[in-house]
Structure 1
Amino acid sequence: MTGFNTRAIHAGQEPDPRTGAVAVPIYATSTYKQDGVGGLREGYEYSRSANPTRTALEEALAALENGVRGLAFASGLAAEDTLLRTVCRPGDHVILPGDAYGGTFRLVARVLTNWGVEYTPVPLADLDAVRAAIRPSTKVIWCETPTNPLLGIADIEALAGIAHEAGARLVVDNTFASPYLQQPIALGADVVVHSTTKYLGGHSDVVGGALIAADATLGDELAFHQNAMGAIAGPFDSWLVLRGIKTLGVRMDRHCTNAGAVVDFLTAHPAVSSVLYPGLPSHPNHDVAARQMSGFGGMVSFTLKGGEETALKVCGLVSLFTLGESLGGVESLIEHPGRMTHASVAGSPLEVPNDLVRLSVGIEDIGDLIDDLTSALA
């Protein structure tokens, strides 16, 4: 098998056979000329079903995650909805992380419950609690690692064993780590989920999602539902994610280096009460992160001694960090999860601390980032 960066640049992206174009063309077409009734050219008939630009992205995604089938969607939540409606039926049960992404929780708790799906939030680092939450109707253990925004770490290999023993599937949201830092399918996951908006796209200019299946049969079922439900990635969005993937490895190296320096700074700062980062030896599951990740990522969360009021002030006092939702772009972002990305879990068991600040550490010069945080925390 070729190396990661080679696959990121070449998988599904061979030069165009007709023109020699090195970049995959944007096939901005809705339909395709057929050579007689049913005479499809390379399987293309209508771009909801398949589009050559999206095909290139889907092949690249499968290669990066070492899966058998990649599928690209209009958003991460569109991918999640398609997956859960494929593998679950009314009356089925899903185990969620106790600190799941707010959008995932909202989808399950406020949309899929109306369809009859039941769920239980569980701290996934507690394997005994996961085993205790299993029901005969459990079809999915949904794992985020690291989690958003508390940077919790779950043992993918152990969860895969628990899921498969119960006849369930393990789904891993690999958005925070990216396939460069973590390979869930190699650790036993059945499906990997991405918001391609984040590190895979990497430039804050596209919204998208992805599923990568470890099994061909499940991959075919997901592809059927992708076409039947229709929330596909368009050709231009697919092209933007493909462009981002080419530099994923070098960007992630810089994200990790910068995040490590920010963590060192925050850990020593008197205004900071705690720093949440899996690279810290004090992180409760640091050993698991070190075993299943090749780096600790660019996401950092911290709490402040002054509480929510101070957290909100810090978010407003930065100048280089941009106050905004999302993550994984080349530019650094700051946000208050309780008021922003995770407002949807307020009042639920997944509510996040109100003194929490989340950083998506970009690839700017680290001295400038530290200076900005120093000024905001003063």
Structure 2
Amino acid sequence: MAAPQRPDHLHRDTLAVRAASQRSQYGENSEALFLTSGYVQPSAEASARRFAGDEEGFTYGRYGNPTVASFEQRLAALEGAQACISTASGMSAILMMCMGLLKSGDHVICSHSMFGSTIKLIGSDLAKFGVTSTFVPQTDAAAWQAAVQPTTKLLFAETPTNPLTEVCDIRALADIAHNAGALLAVDNCFATPALQRPMALGADIVTHSGTKYLDGQGRVMAGALCASDKLVTETFLPVLKSAGMTLAPFNAWVVLKGLETLGIRMEAQSARALALAQWLQDHPSVKRVFYPGLASHPQHALAMAQQSNCGGAVLSFEVKALDDDQARQRAFHVLDSLQTLSLCTNLGDTKSLLAHPASTSHGRLTPAQRQLAGVSQGLIRVAVGLDHLSDIQADLDRGLTSF
């Protein structure tokens, strides 16, 4: 469904509440939820043209939906992309990207520090189909360059990473990819377009787990790819039609409405995250804090340049311990001592969520893979929500001071 005409150069805050499909004949101000799996066609000829892609119009729920289209148009507008295609989850968006771009014999370069499921998908699952991969240090541009092969088709970065918040130089990786005739994809889950627009820095594709900050309240699952019109229509849409990674209209509607408050949520949650990171780095039971907004972060200057001078809403910290066994025991103690905050592996909620990455999001990796990713047994990830800062500190302090 076509987007209505809008003035050029609207602010992202305005696009977050205005970008959507045309209103129906009823003139609704809040975007409508269209719950339908099929569409009545005006004629057999029109139906044939629509199924062939020669005429705009919805044909079947697996291929498209007006509510889903509104979400796609809004996210594309926020990312500064020509187009967007949505999926049922963030991982299904990554799978769609790989299925559309890669074939047997192709090569992918990724960071050691990618999300655990991404490492598993690209490093193990796709390998069964002849796709090879090389994993390199997230922040070492020279290592990315050295990993390039004649068959390299994709560089895939996540910045900041989950859970150590490592930041890569998007412009530098874009240059490496393009000089090799490859594409650069960036997972923008942590920063969101409210803080960072990778395509403005040279990325070709932006991946999203809409389950996280785009929704913002932990209600539904969703995913998306933002890219050029050509990539979306010629490369990714055919995969969607065949494989059916379709985003449900209700989930699309929930995330569409979540985008309306994305900017103010990210601003408020990031401010709390910075204050919490500063408090944690002075805590006697904390070994180290990982947060791009801290001056002690190795990529602090780069993060402030790429992420609208903001560190985001996720941080991680390691507890002090003598060895791995004690570190795991102490991390579990902190998490089991929580009385207010949530022990939950999701992130992006208005509720602050804590997790132990080594046993959850990165639990399927080998010990060697976890070591390369820097995910230790004493590491705790905090996705800071809208809880009051003093209550967050008190709940963490209870466990940290009672080892």
Pair in the same fold by TM > 0.5: yes
1:315 aligns with 2:335: yes
**Structure 1: distance between partners of 2:344 and 2:86:** 25
**Structure 2: distance between partners of 1:354 and 1:121:** 22
Q: How much has 1:35 moved relative to structure 2?
A: 1.0
Partner of 1:187: 201
Cα distance per residue 1:109-137 (max 9 Å; x no partner): 22111111111110131111111111111
Q: How much has 1:320 moved relative to structure 2?
A: 1.6
Partner of 2:16: 8
**Structure 2: distance between partners of 1:310 and 1:33:** 60
Partner of 1:262: 276
Aligned 8 A contact 2:154 2:182 in 1: yes
Cα distance per residue 1:81-109 (max 9 Å; x no partner): 01011111101111111111001011112
Equivalent residue runs for 1:173-322 within 5 Å:
173-213=187-227, 215-220=228-233, 221-294=235-308, 295-306=310-321, 307-322=327-342
Equivalent AA in structure 2 for residue 240 of structure 1:
V
Equivalent AA in structure 1 for residue 12 of structure 2:
F
Partner of 1:57: 71
1:366 aligns with 2:389: yes
Partner of 1:32: 39
Structure 2 gap segments, 5+ residues each = 1-8, 51-55, 322-326
Cα distance per residue 1:32-51 (max 9 Å; x no partner): 11111032585111111110
Using the size of structure 2 for normalisation, the TM-score is 0.91
1:93 aligns with 2:116: no
1:70 aligns with 2:84: yes
**What is the DSSP-based 3-state SS (H/G/I as helix, E as strand, rest coil) of the residue aligned with 2:186?**
strand
**Structure 2: distance between partners of 1:165 and 1:185:** 17
Cα distance per residue 1:227-268 (max 9 Å; x no partner): 221101010010010011010001001111110111011011
Using the size of structure 1 for normalisation, the TM-score is 0.97
Q: How much has 1:347 moved relative to structure 2?
A: 2.5
Worse overlay, 39-48 or 239-248: 39-48
Q: How much has 1:348 moved relative to structure 2?
A: 3.8
Aligned 8 A contact 1:100 1:350 in 2: no
Aligned 8 A contact 1:325 1:335 in 2: yes
Aligned 8 A contact 2:113 2:138 in 1: no
**Structure 1: distance between partners of 2:45 and 2:370:** 51
**Structure 2: distance between partners of 1:235 and 1:291:** 36
Worse overlay, 365-374 or 171-180: 365-374
Partner of 1:357: 380
**Structure 1: distance between partners of 2:57 and 2:88:** 22
Equivalent AA in structure 2 for residue 302 of structure 1:
F
Partner of 1:375: 398
Aligned 8 A contact 1:79 1:193 in 2: yes
Aligned 8 A contact 1:206 1:240 in 2: yes
Partner of 2:121: 107
Partner of 1:330: 350
**Structure 1: distance between partners of 2:83 and 2:241:** 14
> How many residue pairs align between the two structures?
376
**Structure 2: distance between partners of 1:65 and 1:348:** 35
**Structure 1: distance between partners of 2:215 and 2:78:** 14
Worse overlay, 108-117 or 189-198: 108-117
Percent identical across equivalent pairs?
39
Structure 1 gap segments, 5+ residues each = none
Q: How much has 1:59 moved relative to structure 2?
A: 0.5
Equivalent AA in structure 2 for residue 26 of structure 1:
L
Equivalent AA in structure 2 for residue 335 of structure 1:
A
1:127 aligns with 2:127: no
Worse overlay, 223-232 or 176-185: 223-232
Aligned 8 A contact 2:358 2:370 in 1: no
- Out of 17, 28, 45, the position equivalent to 1:21 is 28
Q: How much has 1:69 moved relative to structure 2?
A: 0.9
Q: Runs ≥4 in structure 1, deviation > 4 angstroms?
A: none
**What is the DSSP-based 3-state SS (H/G/I as helix, E as strand, rest coil) of the residue aligned with 1:357?**
strand
Partner of 2:6: none
**What is the DSSP-based 3-state SS (H/G/I as helix, E as strand, rest coil) of the residue aligned with 1:273?**
strand
**Structure 1: distance between partners of 2:230 and 2:257:** 29
Equivalent AA in structure 2 for residue 277 of structure 1:
Y
